Amino acid sequence: MGERFRLTVNGTATEVEASGDTPLLYALRNDLALKGTRFGCGSGQCGACFVLIDGHPTPACDTPLWSVAGKKIVTVEGLGPKGELHPLQRAFLDEQAAQCAFCTSGILVSAAALLERNHKPTESEIRAALDRNLCRCGSHNRMVRAVLRASGQAS
């Protein structure tokens, strides 16, 4: 306990005081009040806690704090330009692509990483990119449509 870690979260340099093996998830949620990153399973199998670490979708629930010091972390709150929604978030609202929406943050993070490397993904590329994210309510197809819409391929 009591170590200080310097993190760059959503473009802002910040410091967290906690034990080095604290999962990043709890530092984000409880120290930095970024509640958009969600606890789902604690073992990186559901995707609800995905954040971008140096651009890669990574489960925050089993990423220890010591391993992300100095790296660039982007959470769902930081996907869009400051104070604005990311085009994906607007598309999710346009498509009403959620029911409970608990999985949505992690899916937006995976989808944002996809669109960074592939501006016009096909439907099957989108599904493959989201396969590490679970959704229980059955909003998958709406989310796929939303990603298509956000990439300028509105159905």
Partner 1 sequence: MNTVTESKLKRPGSLEKNPRLSQWLSVHRDGTVSIFTGKVEIGQGILTALAQIAAEELGLAPERIRMVAADTALSPDEGVTSGSLSIQDSGAALRRACAHARALLLERAAARLNASIRDLRVEDGAVQAAGHSTSFWECAGDALFDREIDETAAARPPHDYRVVGKAAPRLDLPDKIAGRPRYLQDMALPGMLFGRVIRPRYGFSKLVSLDDGKVKSMPGLVAIVREGSFVGVLAEREETAIAAQNALRKASDWDAVPPLPQDIHAWLKSHASDHRVISEKTNLEAKSRAASTLEASYTKPYVSHASIGPSCAIAHFQGEKLIVWSQSQGIFNLRRDLALALGMREDKVAVRHAEGAGCYGHNGADDVALDAALLARRAGGRPVQVQWMRDDEFAWAPCGPAMALTLRAALDPQGNVVDWQHELWSNGHSGRPGRSDSPALVAAWHLARPFERPASINMPLPAGAADRNAIPLYDFPSQRITNHYVREMPVRTSALRSLGAYANVFAIESFMDELAAAAHVDPIAFRLRHLEDPRARAVIEAVARLAKWEEWTLAEGRGHGIGFAKYKNLGAYCAVVAEVEVEHEVRVKRLVVAVDVGLVVNPNGVVNQIEGGAIQSTSWTLKEQVKLDERGITSLGWEDYPILKFSEVPAVEVELIDRPELPAVGAGEAAQGPTAAAIANAVAHALGLRVRELPLTSERVIAAIERQ
Question: Which residues of this protein are in contact with partner 1, per CB under 8 A?
Answer: 1, 18-19, 22-23, 26, 29-30, 33-43, 45-46, 48, 75-77, 85, 89, 92-93, 96, 98-105, 108, 124, 126-128, 130-131, 133-142, 144
CB of 97 to partner 1, least distance (A): 8
- Nearer to partner 1 among residue 76 and residue 115 (C-beta): 76
Side-chain-facing half-sphere of 99: CA atoms under 13 Å: 7
And the tokens for 143?
A: 């989310």
CB of 53 to partner 1, least distance (A): 17
- Nearer to partner 1 among residue 116 and residue 125 (C-beta): 125
Return all residues near 87 (Cβ < 8 A) that are at least 6 apart: 80, 150
- Nearer to partner 1 among residue 71 and residue 132 (C-beta): 132
Q: Measured on CA atoms in the order 31, 35, 39, 44, is the torsion positive or negative? A: negative
Strands across the sheet containing 56-59: 12-18, 3-9, 72-74, 50-53, 56-59
CB of 70 to partner 1, least distance (A): 21
- Nearer to partner 1 among residue 113 and residue 135 (C-beta): 135
Q: Where are the alpha helices (DSSP H) in 6-54?
A: 24-26
